[in-house]
Amino acid sequence: MVWIFFNSAPPNPLDTIVNMFPSRHAKLRRRLKIQGLEDRRLLAVLPGLESIDFDGHDITVGIISDSFNTHGGIRSAVMAGELPGRDNPNGFDTPVEVLSEATYSRQDRGRGIAELIHDVAPAASLIFHAAPSTYYGIASTMSALVHAGADVIVTDMQYPAGDAFLESYIDERIREIVSSGVTVIAAAGNAGDTGYLAPFESVELSSRPGDVPASIGDIPLHDFDSGPNVDVTQSFTLPAGQSIAITLSWNGSPYYLPTGSPSDEYLDTSYQLFLTDEAGQNVLDESFPFWYGNGYFVGQVSYHNETQSTQTLNLIVGEAQNVFLANPVISIIANESLALDSFEYKTHSSPQLGVSTMESVITVGASRGSAQARSYSSIGGREIEWLYDPTHADHGDYGTIDYIGATYAKPNILAPDGDELFTLRPEWNVTSAPDSKQFYSTSASAAKTAGLVALMLEASEGGMSPEQVRQVLEETAKDIGPTGFDFVNGHGVINADVAVQAAEKYRVPPPFEFAFTAELPDGQRELFVSDGTDAGTRLLRDLSGKHSSDPRDLTSIGGRLFFTAVLPSGERELFRSDGTADTTALVSNLAGTSSSNPRELTVVGNTLFFVMTQRNGEDRVYKTTGSRSSTVPVSATSIGQPQDLFAVEDQLCFLGRERDTSQQRVYAFFENGVRSGSWKINPPVEELIPFGSSVAAVVRTSAGRRIHALVNEGSGRRFARESRDVFAVVGPVVRSDDSLFFTAADEQGKLTIRRAVLSNDGRTVSTNVVAQGPELRGNPESLTVIDDQLFFTANIPPANRELMVSDVEGGSTRVVRDLFGTVSSDPQQLTAAGDRLFFTVVFPSGEVELLASDPTLSQTYRVKDLSGNVSSDPKGLTEVSERLVFSAVQGNGQRELYTSDGTSRGTRRIANLSGSHSSDPKYFAATTFQVEPQNFVDESGESEAVVWAADASFESTDVNRDGKTSAVDALMIINAMHTDPAGFSPMDVNGDRAVTALDALVVINRFSRERGVADIDGNSVGENGTETDDDLLTLLSHDSRLF
């Protein structure tokens, strides 16, 4: 086959080689929630975009186009909110990162692409790289964007210099980029169906026509006329001032062929392209085969019309040498800058070439809204005959070329164009309306699709591969034209909201792992860990032997769990665990024989802060990373009564008093323990609460409870209240993101639920009413914010307490569902998990059961009957990895461990932990234990494992944790053989996931060696003597501590 490509470009010599699709963009002007602004779209760029809540956060889009800012004016676009940057009025202040800019003035279409992506995904980071001058640099350019962090790459470049029938090593490199997880999107092109594709009809002319220059020579020429006549010229018109580049390639060009292929007849094949004037007197340019090093040849001609009028030109294709091809074909392709209807002979074939033809790339055509494809949008259907195969190294670095004869489904999809841009250069438009502010091009369509893919990747939380992105876009597209895929409309027009909804299903659930406490059969409360399965639920360690360690305050930092527990001697101290029995141990005994009673465990970065009681009875703030030497005091001895610890960004804040003056102050410390500031506060503080990037305090005044916030004032900060604050705070204050929610009463006692926010400059606090009216009879309780909705319980007539909901911005307040008519349901424990709200209610029969509401609140339902006629009384509702974990009473009256995803099928008991006894699970905390715990080395260089052993004297054979190995430990194992679940440490001493006499023998072996005895009864077995069951019985009968 022979392909000929027309490319209109500016007169710059390099531009005669590179063909770039112009692009146009739509103006969405999306505004996110920025301190009170309503999230809305002023113009709909994509179908369904107005209902999408994602903004491309944490996604990076790379752009490859002609140039970005060679004409200037970027700052104006940023200040208008059309591009991200320092002066963006909407707060998107990360500027476009320009890795490479064009070295001469181009059209700056990259800026237009960036504008449109910012409209669709305003929080996405953008990176620009100027297009390389040749097709052979495109893969390296993409690699540079990947190295800079791109998750998505979009390009509107098309190069005419490549082989039209071969997927080369360039294609293979881009395929590798896609395989690495980066989605690549390409504009289909703006050449409609102007590809000319026809068999090469060789004619031997007995006499040379007048429009064929004599200099071409006596070679076979192609007959363009498919009818009975002969015409060896393809005429077309070129407007004044236009330049054109035309490339010829043919289907017999692969240089490296697999073993056994008739390589000579392909390799020795060559065609030549001639560009002549209309009269045929002069050859304006002619091509010669060029070997590009990747196994194929192309030919190219170019020309610039320097006249003031349109010129008519001719193309001639001839057989240059040694042609053995049986079925050669030629093709002519023109871009959108040329009059598409000027060709004398047409076959209406695909003009696509380069990146847009690759199977691994998502190719996007242009549509008019969701109705039909644009006439200029390049159609697909071109056959790829040869495929580069890098797995064969028979021919140096290039591998081999295999014949495939594949026609890929291109374009994959369509996307709307024709949208208004802040920046719009006249030469970008495909249409003949250069003054139009509407930007018509497949470049605009590709840019919108790149923005949509950013939203999809955010929605899937990185769970989608490029292939899954392509599949979702195709499957959710609106089918137009003929039913199913076709080469004009692809799979249809992208459907933004449906695509994003489908993408959410690809979220990879975070590891479902959590720690909790439960009672053993003997009533001891110990620490457990679970992965949500019966087999994966296990005791971490019995910390206090026959005494209950009663773990509490479970707090996770990365792969480490901190908690407090009671030692056998009765002191409550700080412990930690990396998920195994050996790494579960005391951090440090901070108060000797007194209980340090660690509390208010608070995470700042990778450090744990907590309040402890010293031996002298005074409280002090400590910090630790888990080792004994890293556990040190933070607050000075001059700070008394520390309380209300919490993290604000990278600092610890807490309330305390100056010991000398008893003045209340709020203190702040960096993670390294260095004090960063303190502020006086009056009147007396009841509670300290994080408030955005600041601190709020609930204070008691003569007029009632008020909220004061730490605000900026001049060069310092002080606590102040909003001047219009004439209401009293009733009940608890609830924090959600950067807002505080609370019930307030005015001077007449009228109740409202209000929201407090801190201004951007941190100087003032303002409030708005979230809920008010007769629905607030009785104190609203259980304020819970989920997304943009506030849930709470309140009384409705006549006196029923029910679940209510209101928009956080203020609006109508309504009952989610009046469950039992005249009987109050009394909802409690409101907890969000996944996309559902869980809570408990009291049924008219008195049973307490678990209910849930779906995301739209259209359904509120009982999740599952857990215990028949017995009240299941769910407690401790906790979200772990988008699932609910809780305890509930079974039909037999035992309280056990349960989980739910909001469906009946997904609600189940995880494990029966104590046989016929109730395990009563409590204090659930998500964990992310490492599979292979790392041996931490503390600041002194001492191994953390050694530190803990010294602190607690714990060994694997010290089952009862009394600091020594004795027959008591063996007896505990024997006692547990018929009651302890298999595999629960520490009874499973030998690690075979079963509690047997073998575990007792391991203990015997240990303390027999320590006491200088081994074969107790003297009946040796084996040449070195072996302990047996008889030895165990003998030892047990002589150990007086057992009786």
Can you tell me the mean pLDDT for 941-968? 46
**What percent of the chain is modeled with pLDDT above 70?**
72
Residue 799: pLDDT band with limits 50, 70, 90:
confident
Secondary structure E strands in 424-509: 438-439
For strands 166-167 and 383-389, give the pairing.
Answer: parallel
The C-alpha atoms of residue 174 and residue 362 are separated, in whole angstroms, by 12
Name the H helices within 460-599. Answer: 466-476, 496-504
Does the pLDDT of residue 30 top 70, yes or no?
A: no
Residue 1008: pLDDT band with limits 50, 70, 90:
low
- For residue 951, the model assigns a pLDDT of 31
The C-alpha atoms of residue 760 and residue 89 are separated, in whole angstroms, by 12
- 888-908 tens-digit pLDDT: 999 889 999 999 988 888 899
Assign 836 to helix, strand or coil: strand
- For residue 941, the model assigns a pLDDT of 42
Residues with Cβ within 8 Å of 944's Cβ and at least 6 positions away in sequence, in order, are: 626, 627, 935, 936, 937, 938
The C-alpha atoms of residue 593 and residue 589 are separated, in whole angstroms, by 9
The most confident of 427-441, 574-588, 778-792, by mean pLDDT = 574-588
The C-alpha atoms of residue 961 and residue 565 are separated, in whole angstroms, by 13
Name the residue with higher pLDDT: 872 or 400: 872
Residue ranges covered by each domain of the chain:
28-192+372-382+413-504, 955-1042
- For residue 239, the model assigns a pLDDT of 86
The C-alpha atoms of residue 666 and residue 656 are separated, in whole angstroms, by 6
Computed over every residue of the chain, the mean pLDDT equals: 77
The C-alpha atoms of residue 244 and residue 167 are separated, in whole angstroms, by 25
Phi first, then psi, for residue 283 (nearest 5°) are -90, 110
Residue 923: pLDDT band with limits 50, 70, 90:
very high
Residue 1042: pLDDT band with limits 50, 70, 90:
very low
**Fold classification of 955-1042 (topology level):** Type 1 dockerin domain (1.10.1330)
Q: Which position has the token pair 């071409």? A: 216
CA separation, residue 480 to residues 241, 382, 413, 449, 492 (Å): 38, 21, 11, 18, 6
Helix (H) / strand (E) element for 38: namely none
**Lowest-confidence pick of 278-287, 535-544, 717-726:** 717-726
Residue 9: pLDDT band with limits 50, 70, 90:
very low
**Fold classification of 28-192+372-382+413-504 (topology level):** Rossmann fold (3.40.50)
Does the pLDDT of residue 877 top 70, yes or no?
A: yes
Can you tell me the mean pLDDT for 205-220? 81
What the block records as the tokens of 210 is 């007048």
- 544-593 tens-digit pLDDT: 778 899 999 999 998 899 999 999 888 999 999 999 888 998 998 888 88
- For residue 722, the model assigns a pLDDT of 58
- 673-704 tens-digit pLDDT: 888 888 888 778 888 888 877 888 888 887 77
C-beta of residue 141 within 8 angstroms of C-beta of residue 132? yes
What the block records as the tokens of 324 is 């053995």
Does the pLDDT of residue 257 top 70, yes or no?
A: no
C-beta of residue 332 within 8 angstroms of C-beta of residue 275? no
- For residue 160, the model assigns a pLDDT of 58
- For residue 918, the model assigns a pLDDT of 93
C-beta of residue 898 within 8 angstroms of C-beta of residue 888? yes
The C-alpha atoms of residue 152 and residue 177 are separated, in whole angstroms, by 11
- 145-183 tens-digit pLDDT: 999 999 999 998 876 555 566 666 677 788 889 999 999
C-beta of residue 387 within 8 angstroms of C-beta of residue 400? no
